[in-house]
Amino acid sequence: MSHRRVGVLAVIAALAALGVAYFAQDVLNLVPCPLCLWERWPYRVVALLGVLAVLVRPATGRVVLGVIVLALLTGAGIAFLHVGVEQHWWKSPLPECNGFFSADAPLPATPAPPCDAPVYLFTRLPISFAEGDFIYAMAFAFALLPYVTRKPRRFR
């Protein structure tokens, strides 16, 4: 498979993840917590890098796809951090998740839900959005690894 096809697939997969997040937010009216909003950034980066991978030469495209893998692993790390907050293994590093407000900062017009309250898309499937994001980002990264790590073909 060419770097261009893999780049297109990366864009589609990243936009699908963002589409699910925005569908849950805008159609299902599930308000995202601050950590949920952070979890979206790696997918935005992946979508942009996927477009770049389509536009460059094969050797550079493989490097860009390697950076996409790093972005996805970063996203998986943020999702894992969020899972830990949901499971009460640790507190969130974001002060707005822990209810800390500065005396001179105005309160938000609509308060965000707490980061330690898991949100489930399907009631019968006990996987929170953060857990699902972790699984998706890891699977996405590992799906790209064989292409990024294989030796390039030499043409005679």
Domain map of the chain by residue range?
3-99+112-149
Q: What is the pLDDT along the chain (156 residues), one digit of tens a residue?
A: 788 899 999 999 999 999 999 999 999 888 888 999 999 999 999 999 999 999 999 889 899 999 999 999 999 999 999 999 999 999 988 887 766 555 565 555 556 678 888 888 777 888 999 999 999 999 999 999 988 887 766 655
CA terminus-to-terminus distance, the chain: 19
Distances (CA, A) of 141 to 12, 58, 76, 102, 122: 14, 19, 9, 38, 24
Chosen CATH of 3-99+112-149 out of 3.40.1800, 3.40.50, 1.20.120, 1.20.1550: 1.20.1550
Distances (CA, A) of 62 to 16, 70, 123: 22, 13, 40
- The pTM of this model reads 0.86
